[in-house]
A and B are shown apart, each in its own frame.
Chain A
Amino acid sequence: GCFECRPPRLQNCGNRFEEIARLASETIFTVNEVEALYELFKKLSSSIIDDGLIQKEELHLALFKTPSDENLFLNRVFYLFDEKKNGVIEFDEFVHALSVFHPNAPMEEKIDFAFRLYDLRQTGFIERKEVKAMVIVILMESDITLSDDLLEAIMDRTFADADADKDDRINTEEWKDFVLRNPNLLKNMTLPYLKDLSLATVFPSFTFNTRIED
């Protein structure tokens, strides 16, 4: 951060303040909250390689507590965070994506993010075979064995509820109707923690003093 600025670093700090102010203007976060997110980003982006970028392995380490890059859902989260699609999460991408998870973020943004998460092949539809593949991964992760008949029964019930036009794929309108009727499906799209984000609460040892007013 810029808390211990010495003259040689002032130029960098100026850029940092500009970036933080810009990110605050682009997202739901205040300047202080973006600054707090920067501290979190620094921690995550240095956990394996200290290069100021979050690698997929580093996201895996944060979510699963083990370093690996092989998990379908982690891949999807990483893919959506990585706006530039260059294989790493940069700070501005991190702030943009987390903004969607803020308790006060518009419901539309959460619905859209979840849709893109589950639209594995980016066809504009959540296809039945994609959903089945995701359920199989979840069952394997949880060490649950289900017969294919039971699995198909879950799929039938889900698509009877979600797929209004019965074409074995869920479009954006059907998805919106479905999640509005089943709001618990969006529970993991909200991180209550983001509402209490400030250096004072997250990093109590810091005395925060920024030149930019919120």
Chain B
Amino acid sequence: VSPVTMNAFELISTSQGLNLSSLFEK
């Protein structure tokens, strides 16, 4: 998906800093 077609919050929510599932990676 091109960033140009996404809304701003869709873009923001892809941040690694907001992806807490990494906490559970072994």
Contacts and interface: CB of A to CB of B under 8 A. Distances in A.
Interface of A: 40, 44, 62-65, 71-74, 76-77, 98, 101, 117-118, 131-132, 134-135, 137-139, 141-142, 144, 146, 150, 153-155, 157-158, 161-162, 178, 182, 184-185, 187-188, 191, 193
Per DSSP, are chain A's interface residues mostly helix, strand or loop, or mixed? Answer: helix
Interface in B1-26: 3-4, 6-24
B14 A138 contact: yes
What 3 pairs between A and B have smallest CB-CB spacing?
A: A73-B17, A74-B17, A158-B8
5 contacts: A73-B16, A76-B17, A118-B9, A135-B12, A188-B18
Per DSSP, are chain B's interface residues mostly helix, strand or loop, or mixed? Answer: helix
B6 A154 contact: yes
Nearest to B12: A134
Contacts, number: 90
Contacts of A144: 3
A135 B7 CA distance: 10
Contact of A44 (B11, B16, B23): B23
B15 A141 contact: yes
A184 B13 CA distance: 9
A74 B12 CA distance: 12
A154 B8 contact: yes
Contacts of A146: 3-4
Nearest to B3: A144
Contacts of B16: 63-64, 73, 141
B17 A187 contact: no
Nearest to A54: B23
Contact of A77 (B8, B12, B20): B20
Contact of B24 (A40, A77, A158, A161): A40
Contact of A191 (B6, B12, B21): B21
B15 A73 contact: yes
Given A73-B15, A74-B17, A191-B21, 11 more contacts: A40-B23, A62-B23, A64-B16, A72-B17, A77-B20, A117-B18, A131-B9, A131-B12, A135-B11, A138-B15, A158-B8
